[in-house]
Structure 1
Amino acid sequence: MVGSKSETQRRDSYLSPQRLEVQKSGTMSCMIPEEVRATYTQQYTAPRVQSYYVSSLRKPSRVDEEKAVNLERLKSYYSSRNATVCQVRGPGAMWTCRSSEGEGSTGSRRATTYGVEGGLQSQCPTDYEFGRHDHLGVMGSDLDTISGDMGRSYVKYYDKLSTINRDANYQLRKNNMWIPVCGEDYGRPVELLPSGLNYDRNDGMGLLETKELSPASVTNVPTSNELFMGGSTSLPLFGEKSLPSLIYHSSIELKNKIYILGGLTTCYKNDDGAPDLYDFHVDGIKNLPPPINDQLVNNPALLSNRRLYVVSANGFTLRIPKLSGQVPPPLLCGRISKLSDRYIFYYGGFEIRTETVIDEDTGKYYLSRRAFLNNTAYVLDVQLFKFVKVELVTQPTKFSAFSPTVPRFGHMQISVKMNNSISRCTESEDSKSTASSMRTGPQSYVSSAEDDCHQQSSEQTLSRVSTVSSTHAATIFIMGGYRQVDDHSYEALQDMWRVDVTVLSRGKKGYMKFAESASATLITRVGSDSKNSWPEPRAFMASCIVDSNLLNRTFSFEDTLRDAKDICTTPEETSQAIFANLPASAKVGRPANRDARQRTPLSGNKDAKTVIIHGGSDGSRVYGDMWWFDLADERWSRIALYSRDPDSGERRPIGLPAVGHSIFHSRDEFLLYGGLSQQDISSLFPEAPPFYRPREEPVDALNCSAAVIAIPSMTISPLDCSAHRDSTQHYTHLLSVSVLAIRGQLWLVGGAVASCSPTSITIALRGAISELTMPLTENSVARE
């Protein structure tokens, strides 16, 4: 790993301006010097919770008791770390420092008993109470002790199952039903939808309407209530424990299962159990770039998530498996990519480490938080739940003899699998992309969101492919992100790397043994130094991967019929005659594939793929441009976006600034969802340093949180607009939400909701998983 400071130097500089002399001893603490105490200037309140899960068999609890228990747990969490005694070179003061050395380090697990789940378990009946429901036939009036009609219904349903399965090990607590609940001020799913897609609050049916456009927004959007305007559903879960509120986590969908790693999670379940943080003073991480919020990262009530959560998108079950191997620390803003149906690649992000100083005279807790960036990759076996550490080893190119990789977070990460004439295709991406097949340089790659099988002619595959594809599981493309300059300074990157994950051996059921290192090669700029030939430094951009031949072609009803016919015909085969001697049974060749007739300017190969990125930020402004990276020749191209004048019908260039958002590709459209605009950052981050303030956009900018971009015209149709933001209407933003495309719907995992009004801004965490159906646009009904 390459960094600006060694880990030992940064650890020694944690505690005070005097820099402490550390000794291992049992000296008791006295008072803390004022000059040390003055460095801990920040105090916080526990963030609100917008949605969370409650047990269908919940038992009543007193709010004051729940707050006290959570506060005691939180103090125990910070005080049960590795103890180190420090002597201040001051006026004879002696004090004790308890170090939370790498909150996510695998060497110590002492504090896990004080983790988040302790707070959730208080809402779940005890083992004795669960035992009373083992044979409900003799319970009688005990059903009255179960709160709510849903709880009663579920217990009756479970009783019918128990008549079939009377196994003593089959306990109700293993199959508890967790119900999504919204907070007091978030009772409607409007908070999960884009700002312009609000419920009609005067209509009891809660129909969704699209707000009218402002005069400055000159794009066509649906205004008729006859069009479907979308909706959202909060999903229940089944399991022994529930899913907590998470933010800055990483997630990926693999064979209809969602894997969630890292991030921050609350030490309480809902607002009623939020502890009072008056006794906590923080010297926090400063100048974190948007969309990361300092108020959340430095909040003492938010703890690092060490667990892996596995959610089934089919059965809505939640599993928290026990991890083994070289388990990574809990990372924020890392990225996950798919290597195969069994393995995922986890890289980047940063770890929060906290030093705790306790003043035993006053009972105050002084926390010093620092960020440590991660430059190590991890491969997870999702069958055995075992991690393997993989170091990135840089390879020289003819343009650079040696260029080490840089630890980063908020980067683009897309994974593609090697392809040869007989290989099976698999896909991976950062948790937000869709996919397709891919080819780059002298190698050929394939990536498919549904593990489609593709074949490539040996004439199109170079001899190197067969050897490389047998030794590499996949190739990871990494670009951009933020690197750490010093403790409180971050710089956006624009470099791009190709990482080849090497497989030493293969076994049954998709087993692979990986090498301890992976080859990382820098993709360099060749031929032009113009800034228009390469994206500017940025992070937290949206990215996806698509077929190159889909980007510059039009669609018609006849094309749809041809696609349907192609699906029913075996590729590259002709029909076989049953009775060869009959004239009517002559072999009939398959008609030429439409893709063969419609080659695009991007590539003459139907298997070629293009990486799409949009937006992002460099810490000084939010970008609204779109770039395509053709993997066939490893070249970037800037793509202009347009809006259409409603009166004249003419198109004009326009930008769509967004950071921390997601992009998805569907047939002839890009869907952009979530994220923050430049105006949003100015309102949500009022204390941001001056270099976060807006700059002038090169073209007119559109301000919306959800939009559709038509292909190939690249015309933007916003699903909401900026008109309501100049009024007194309440509106919302989604912050750091993981958005996954599963079975044609968008699944929203974790994150936060920023509720904005003319007088206040409230940020509330999301705990419940939501399924979102996006509205129809006029482009969806009448193709351009």
Structure 2
Amino acid sequence: MSSPQFSFKVPSNIDAELLKDQNVSPWDHEFEHPTTKDANTKETFTKYEPIPYASNYMSLLTPPASEAEQRRLRLENEMWLKKYYLSKKLTSHATLRHGSVTSTSDTSVTHSERSKSGTFLNRFLDDTDGIADVFEIRLTHEALNSDARNEEKKKSGTFGSLAARPYYDHYQRLRTMDIRDRTILKRHTLWMPIVGKDFASLRRSHNRGVEVACPLFVDGTSYIPKEYDTYGGCTIISSVFSEHKLPAFAYHCAIDVNDDVFIMGGLVACYKYDEEAPNLQDFQVDGVGNLPPPLLPKIINNPSMISNARLYVMSVASSHVIRPKLSGNVPPPLLCMKASKLTERHIFYYGGFEIKTETFLDDKGIYHLKKRAFVNSTGYILDTVSYRFSKVELVAQPYKFVTYPTLAARFGHMQMSVLTNKGSSYHGSNAKNYGYNESTETDTSSTGEQSALNSPAMSFYSSSKNCNTTHGSAVYTIIIFGGYRQTGDDNYEAMNDLWKIEVPVISRGKRGYYKFADTATASIIPKNENTDPWPSARAFFGYSRAGSGLLARTSTYDGMLDRLYENFSINLTSAANVSKTKPIFPNIPHARKEPLSPRQSTPKETRSNSSSSTNFRVGSPLQNSSPVQWKRQPPEGDLFVIHGGSDNTKVLGDMWWFDLDTESWTEVTTYGKDQERGMTPIKVCIVGQSMVTVGDINVSLGGLNQEEIDRLYLGKDEPKDIARHQQQIGNDFLTIFDLNTQCLQGHNVKRIGEGKDSRLVLADDESNNSGFNDGSYHGLNVTGLVTSFGCQVLHTNGTLTLVGGLVAKRLELDCIGFRGAVLESVLPSISLAS
């Protein structure tokens, strides 16, 4: 196979060539001109290295790359990276320091920036130069076994695998057809996954038997789990068909609509493969500071990471990826943006932050980059048929004692779509205090509630709600909770406010078409002062939707208990009175927590005593006695579950569910199986995980625990006792809870130590990992060797699809790589959890 001839020639003096075509702005305005001494100060500027790929895609039509060509690509990427940063203009001092810290999207400026970003993304990520001419390609037997492939291709066996041969037969048949459009053949380009050399040691040897570590997964030997699979179940790295290579995303946004995954925003690397990574020695970065977990400075501030301004759409059924052209008010490239379904055709985007960079080139050829974050406060709606964006401004609805409230711009929040009744809201005038969140910016009014109800904003809300009721019966309501808001240049504050967003519909047409208003209303869901339980402030937590069906089901044992409870009551005499109780879940024999009525006035001490679901366990003595009627009353509507997260560097491990009908929170106690003590309450403290709920099974993928946060953000030393580190609860790549029992699956727990040093750890036997390629992980927990964060997990038709993100070895957190390939876990059709 002959390699294509490249007409591009890299200049010997890159910086001189760049300055000929670029008008480099001086470091003027209201900023201080940095001297060379100041620019090289370690406390201000940091040097970075390119991030390797843990997994990636390689085209079967890409010709072999020699070492000379790889060197040429490295120099070319370095030149275009410098040209990319030289195109960044300085921003006025007033915008950065005295103005709004939220991101703006002026039409002319945004269009110009998007055009520039698209040009550079084409140079960095497109393979128009690297793919051979599809009309002249010769697919011979020698090409299938070519020895000219680089090291990664040799190890993966891409061209020599049996899976590649049917594709070549398919492609040859396509070339026999009369196809005048060259792009049709390019859309049939097959991209096969490969594993990076730095992570190849995690691959299992081919003679290792598949072990089912958790009953959620079944035997999956026919799905190629041996190449890359922590659990050894039905997990595969999927190949994709696409005209363009699917880049590796980090801190991006992904949502599935009608079995299609829409990927947007985030960061992507400016190089397609490790061999093409540019040299970053000429870059010094004054990056975004005080980033909260799991935002890593070495990723966010890395000069080789550029913002993704494109939309990628992947069909889960056909594994086909397209990159459509966008129109309308396209949002700027945002990190940690959230998306939710607005209709079956429209997607609502909100939140996230934009990174803006300023560049100064000194006389020594050093590029000084100044990066700052700007949080987005605007909503965007995408029509998935026409790929047209429309912008929506959010107007907060006035509420009691607050006439002009503010919905704080945020990132790392929860955003979900729900269908709610259009009747009166559950929270009413009997709520004591609406301004419950300390972090919510509000302007109070002395005129009270009456003036708020008569304000123009309230009048707009009433009219828009009536319009939405008339035309928008199929339009979802958006629920937003928590996240970080920006209180200064590099200061971020976690929140715990809960909002409901409704987008008015102006008109609708055929095929699910809707025309939405330019302004949406955001109404706060209030909390009674010192009465209702409420989650603490947090961000980057796991959340998912769970149906009420799992709450209503009962087992035979629980059914017998229900009949006993209906016919018998326990009367105990005591001076203290406790109110009637009901369990969180109707079929949990060990959970007897008493959730409070959403508007019931209960002393704080009573709530604290009933916060644990073990207070009213079967067979346990009751300290306070009064007539207690054991009658199960499960919630009637759907709910969503949240777990973990963090408030800056404090990692949380509590689990909550929110009833959408009563608009009330309830804390849920999670348990572990202790062989000596039975069901023991535990907390799995992780942040940055992605969560989905499949039937009764709640799956959290990835995340960082408290010890890892201390090492990455607080500079603490790595653990000396590796075995003890591996025993930590929550170290699994997949953390699975059975919502029927609220119990951790796949592991037993035990208590070690005495007194203050007492703690719960995993009680599993040491795993025999002799099947690993190098044997370096012998005796360690297989399911906790790696973690992942900055990714998106979607549940579509019984399959968990993991898109993008970062992968890190738990024992070597500095070894972080991109997950460039899509990971899929095929789930059984029935629940196998025990």
Q: Normalising by structure 2, what TM-score?
A: 0.68
Which residue in 1 is equivalent to 2:365? 363
Question: 1:202-249: per-residue Cα shift (whole Å, max 9, x none)?
Answer: x614523649xxxxxxxx9999999x9524211111121010111000
Q: Contact 1:482–1:493 (CA<8 Å) still a contact in 2?
A: yes
Q: 2:245 & 2:179 partners in 1: Cα distance? A: 25
1:105 and 2:110 correspond: yes
- Would the alpha carbon gap of residues 407 and 58 (structure 1) be closer, same or farther in structure 2, given more than 3 Å must change? same
Aligned mates of 1:501, 1:714 — CA distance in 2: 36
Any idea what SS the aligned residue of 2:299 has? helix
Alignment-derived partner of residue 669 in structure 1: 697
Change (3 A) 1:507 1:558: farther
Distance 2:219 2:242 in 1: 42
- Three-state SS of the structure 2 residue aligned to 1:656 is coil
**CA-CA distance at 1:66 after TM superposition:** 1.8
Q: Is the 8 A contact 2:413 2:483 kept in 1?
A: yes
Question: Residues 133-172 of structure 1: matches in 2 within 5 Å?
Answer: 133=137, 148-149=159-160, 153-169=166-182, 171-172=184-185
Give the match's secondary structure for 2:314.
strand
Q: Deviations over 1:402-458 (max 9, x none)?
A: 32100100000011235689xxxxxxxxxxxxxxxx99669xxxxxxxxxxxxxxxx
Preserved contact between residue 655 and residue 670 of structure 2 (Cα < 8 Å): yes
Q: Using a 3 Å threshold, how does the CA distance of structure 1 residues 728 and 370 change in structure 2: closer, same or farther?
A: same
Q: How does 1:407-486 map to 2 (within 5 A)?
A: 407-418=409-420, 468-472=468-472, 473-486=475-488
The Cα offsets for residues 236-263 of structure 1, whole Å up to 9 and x where unpaired, read as 1112101011100000011111100100
Q: 1:602 to 1:487 in 2, by over 3 A?
A: farther
Q: How does 1:197-276 map to 2 (within 5 A)?
A: 199=204, 201=205, 204-208=207-211, 210=213, 230-276=233-279
| 8 Å Cα contact 2:651/2:687 also seen in 1 | yes
Q: Secondary structure at 1:185's aligned position in 2?
A: helix
Aligned residue for 1:20? 31
Matches within 5 A, 1:316-355: 316-355=319-358
SS in 2 for 1:486: coil
Cα deviation, residue 484, structure 1: 0.8
Q: Which residue number in structure 1 is paired with residue 432 of structure 2?
A: none
Q: Which one of 495, 498, 502 corresponds to residue 496 of structure 1? A: 498
Query: Of residues 74, 79, 95 in structure 1, which corresponds to 2:81?
Result: 74
**Counterparts of 2:293 and 2:196, CA distance in 1:** 26
Tell me the alpha carbon deviations over residues 523-548 of structure 1, each in whole angstroms, 9 at most, x when there is no partner.
1112x415x71100000111122233
Q: Give the aligned partner of residue 554 of structure 1.
A: 554
Q: Are 2:303 and 1:300 equivalent residues in the alignment?
A: yes
Q: Does structure 1 residue 767 correspond to structure 2 residue 773?
A: no
The 3 A distance-change label for structure 1 pair 315 and 704 is: closer
AA matched with 2:31: L
User: What CA distance in whole angstroms lies between the structure 2 residues aligned with 1:204 and 1:489?
Assistant: 52
- Residues 1-33 of structure 1: per-residue CA shift (max 9 Å, x gap): xxxxxxxxxxxxx998993389xxxxxxxx945
**Cα distance, 1:466–1:205 mapped onto 2, change above 3 Å:** farther
The structure that is strand-richer by fraction is: 1
What is the alpha-carbon distance in structure 2 between the residues aligned to residue 225 and residue 232 of structure 1?
A: 7
Give the Cα separation in 1 of the matches to 2:700 and 2:540. Answer: 14
Mark the runs of 5 or more structure 1 residues left unpaired by the alignment.
Answer: 1-13, 23-30, 87-99, 191-198, 212-219, 422-437, 443-463, 560-593, 690-699
Q: Give the conservation status (yes or no) of the 8 Å contact 1:55–1:123.
A: no
Count of aligned residue pairs for this structure pair: 632
SS at match of 2:198: coil
User: Counterpart of 2:127?
Assistant: 121
Q: How many Å separate the matches in 2 of 1:41 and 1:315?
A: 46
CA distance in 2, matches of 1:21, 1:48: 36
Counterpart-to-counterpart distance in 1, 2:743 and 2:141: 64
1:492 and 1:538 in contact (8 A); partners too: yes
Distance apart, 1:149 and its partner CA: 4.6
CA–CA separation in structure 2 for the residues paired with 1:41 and 1:121: 33
Match of 2:530 in 1: 529
CA distance in 2, matches of 1:545, 1:292: 25
| CA spacing shift, 1:668–1:554, aligned 2, 3 Å | farther
1:182 maps onto 2:195 in alignment: yes
| 1:739 pairs with 2:793 | yes
Cα distance, 1:670 vs structure 2? 2.0
1:610 Cα deviation (Å)? 1.4
Aligned CA distance change for structure 1 residues 276 and 229 (closer, same or farther; 3 Å): closer
Shift of 1:493: 0.3
Q: Is the 8 A contact 2:745 2:833 kept in 1?
A: no
Change (3 A) 1:737 1:102: farther
> 1:157 is aligned with what amino acid?
H
Offset at 1:763?
Answer: 0.3
Q: Which amino acid aligns with 1:56?
A: L
Go from structure 1 to structure 2 and tell me whether the alpha carbon gap of 1:413 and 1:221 turns closer, same or farther (over 3 Å shift).
closer
- Aligned amino acid, residue 42 of structure 1: T
Aligned AA (1:714): Q
**Residue 716 of structure 1: aligned partner:** 744
* Displacement of 1:671: 2.3
1:46 matched residue in structure 2? 50
Alpha-carbon distance, 1:158 to partner: 1.9
Letter in 2 for 1:381: D
Q: 1:174 to 1:210 in 2, by over 3 A?
A: closer
Which of residues 257, 272, 289 is equivalent to 1:286? 289
Residue 542 of structure 1 is matched in structure 2 by 542
Give the Cα–Cα distance (whole angstroms) in 2 for the partners of residues 234 and 506 of structure 1: 40
RMSD value, Cα: 4.2
Deviation at 1:177, TM superposition (A): 1.1
- 2:469 maps to amino acid: S
- Aligned-residue offset at 1:756: 3.5
Deviation at 1:302, TM superposition (A): 0.3
Deviates more, 1:49-58 or 1:290-299: 49-58
**Correspondence for 1:7:** none
C-alpha distance in structure 1 between counterparts of 2:792 and 2:675, whole Å: 34
Question: What residue number does 2:644 align with?
Answer: 615
1:42 Cα deviation after fit: 0.6
Matching residue's letter, 2:383: D
Contact 1:753 1:764 in 2 (8 A): yes
Q: Bigger relative contact order, structure 1 or 2, given CA contacts below 8 A and separation 6+?
A: 1
Inter-partner Cα distance in structure 2 for 1:767 and 1:290: 22
For the residues of structure 2 that align with 1:59 and 1:229, how far apart are their CA atoms?
A: 33
Asked if the contact 1:706/1:719 (under 8 Å) is kept, the reply is no
Alpha-carbon contact 1:552-1:712 (below 8 Å) kept:
no
| Counterparts of 1:756 and 1:54, CA distance in 2 | 27
Alignment partner of 1:354: what SS?
strand
Displacement after TM superposition at 1:269 (Å): 1.2
Which secondary structure does the structure 2 equivalent of 1:105 belong to? helix
**Alignment partners' CA distance in 2, 1:144 and 1:773:** 31
Residue type at the aligned position of 1:634: E
Q: Distance in 2 between matches of 1:495 and 1:324?
A: 33
Q: Would the aligned equivalents of 2:540 and 2:689 in 1 still touch at CA under 8 Å? A: yes
Distance 1:475 1:69 in 2: 48
* Amino acid paired to 1:346: Y
8 Å Cα contact 1:399-1:524 kept in structure 2:
no
Q: How far apart are the structure 2 equivalents of 1:51 and 1:630?
A: 40
Give SS of 2:55's match: strand
User: What is the CA deviation profile of residues 283-307 of structure 1, one whole-angstrom value per residue up to 9, with x for unaligned ones?
Assistant: 0001110011111000000000000
- Structure 2 unmatched runs, 5+: 1-24, 94-104, 150-158, 222-230, 429-463, 560-585, 588-630, 718-727, 749-760, 767-776
Is the 1:324–1:385 Cα contact (8 Å) retained in structure 2?
yes
| Deviations, residues 458-477 of structure 1 (Å, cap 9, x unaligned) | xxxxxx99974334422111
Closer/same/farther in 2, CA of residues 616 and 420 from structure 1, 3 Å limit: same
Equivalent residues of 1:102, 1:352 under 8 A apart = no
Deviation by residue 1:636-668 (Cα, 9 ceiling, x = unmatched):
1111112232134x2222111111112322333
Q: Kindly indicate whether the alpha-carbon contact (under 8 Å) linking 2:301 and 2:371 is maintained by their aligned counterparts in 1.
A: yes
Q: Is the 8 Å Cα contact of residues 695 and 831 (structure 2) preserved in structure 1?
A: no
Offset at residue 325 of structure 1 (A): 0.2
**2:802 alignment partner in structure 1:** 748
Amino acid at match of 2:737: I
Task: Please give the alpha-carbon distance, in whole angstroms, between the structure 2 residues aligned to 1:661 and 1:288.
Answer: 17
